[in-house]
Structure 1
């Protein structure tokens, strides 16, 4: 099939590469313009643009494809059989949706209609879902509201992180789009309308999304740590310094009977001076373990990173850190 591919971040690269390897004619790649990144703010190409150029595929980078008539004209000139969209980052207007012979197909990292919108991968971990997956959807003018074409599911690992699930679903998305186009070519696709009553919509995360509220249960916080790993990461503050938490386990209340006083309190503000040892966020050292009291149960910290230091195990941290008590 003659395909135009639209995508931007690294998640979309697997889909592009799968299309190419399957022998489809990827006539054009459309991606977001170069953006300033890094410490020096230098303009950098999107991951999809880098991959497309390595494959020798023409690339365009419209700032707003909705109003870019030159870009639209190029799409029409190519006359694609299908436009495949994966994490492109722009809403397509109806006049673009109408260009391809078989429509525009989106590869979405959730089991639609659950988790429409941005960041579906992290939300699956945050909410403690037992399974996740990818969906291919025939796009319409709404946001992730089109008919479902095919899905692929996978079971989440007990220690699944946002990063590990991202990698798995990226590969799964590439596999699914190839299967979807094969079924489309053979006229074996079944369109399943989404049930709006089952739809959930999720939004993007910011750096502040990682701030831990210690009044929540240990189970919720443990999922926050995994779901926001690697970005924006879950964090608190210890003596005014940011403390990122990378791995932890839930410790039931009955399993922690240490009677020693806490050595510190983890705060939700860099400038806080919390000192009430009875409040949630109290930090205990017990049998070389680092344990925090939560709204329900306790959290045993396994891996952490104090501001200005490298990521390390709790045991290594305890060897070098001196609490002021």
Structure 2
């Protein structure tokens, strides 16, 4: 099968590499334009472009798929199917209808829940026990197409957004190959999504990481894990931001206001929340490197009764 692959970030690369190593032919890759990144603000290739260049696959980088000539370029590759993995642009109807077998999307959750741009982080924030990937037949909606296949994994109690990202990234490729083979054989089973069970979440943004100490310790602990590595959970101390990278839920103290430091020991400090308390184990002060709470406390002493936030 002739495949055009559309994707941009690191998450997309394992699926592309799986296709390249398969019996299918990846005839072209569409990815977002290169952008300045890092401290030097140097223009860098997207992760998907790097993988495509290594495999000597033609790359197309339109600013928008609606730009003149974009459809012609994709059509010139004569794809039997288009595979989309975290591409970053909405596909118009003309693109969706171009290939013989249509467009397949690898979505990083068990649809119909957690549609949108940040399903990996949201399942942790919401306290889900399991997640997975969904292969869907794309339509003009956002993650609304028929479900073709799903693979599940259990969410570890210590799972972070970063660790779950890596697990799900390698889960979709083998499942996609099964879907493509069934499509060629004409035995694909389409399952319509139940709209009553659907939920949609937008993109992550930096302000999402600001800790509201009135929330329960369990909610904040999930926030610490779910938003790791970006945008990260943070509070303020003495006018400077204090990122919290690792924490645990412990009993709180009645009568203490939310955000109050209950105790500061040798290896951690504990903060009262709206329900229970949060034992902070790893932090990063503004302008400093990430460190254990114990190391932080030796350099920046903290005492019970101090207020954070």
The 8 Å contact of residues 264 and 302 in structure 2, kept in 1 or not, is answered as no
Equivalent position of 1:210 in the other structure: 209
Report the CA distance between 1:245 and its aligned residue. Answer: 0.3
Q: What are the ranges of 5 or more consecutive residues in structure 1 without an aligned counterpart?
A: 258-276
Pick from 257, 263, 279: which aligns with 1:279?
257
In 1, Cα distance between the equivalents of 2:192 and 2:24? 27
In 2, Cα distance between the equivalents of 1:245 and 1:23? 46
> Which contiguous aligned blocks of 4+ residues in structure 1 show a shift greater than 6 angstroms?
none
TM-score, normalization by structure 2: 0.94
In 1, Cα distance between the equivalents of 2:4 and 2:105? 12
In 1, Cα distance between the equivalents of 2:3 and 2:102? 11
In 1, Cα distance between the equivalents of 2:241 and 2:223? 16
SS of structure 1 residue aligned to 2:213: coil
The 8 Å contact of residues 145 and 192 in structure 2, kept in 1 or not, is answered as yes
Equivalent position of 1:19 in the other structure: 19
Deviations 1:84-125 (A, max 9, x none): 001111111111111100000011001011111110000000
For 1:1-325, list aligned pairs within 5 A. Answer: 1-66=1-66, 68-253=67-252, 278-288=256-266, 289-323=268-302
In 1, Cα distance between the equivalents of 2:36 and 2:187? 44
In 2, Cα distance between the equivalents of 1:286 and 1:208? 27
Report the CA distance between 1:286 and its aligned residue. Answer: 4.6
| Number of aligned residue pairs | 303
In 2, Cα distance between the equivalents of 1:239 and 1:10? 36
Report the CA distance between 1:184 and its aligned residue. Answer: 1.8
In 1, Cα distance between the equivalents of 2:78 and 2:263? 66
CA RMSD of aligned residues (A): 1.6
In 2, Cα distance between the equivalents of 1:96 and 1:286? 58
TM-score, normalization by structure 1: 0.90
SS of structure 2 residue aligned to 1:92: coil
Deviations 1:253-290 (A, max 9, x none): 3xx69xxxxxxxxxxxxxxxxxxx94211113354331
In 2, Cα distance between the equivalents of 1:196 and 1:79? 34
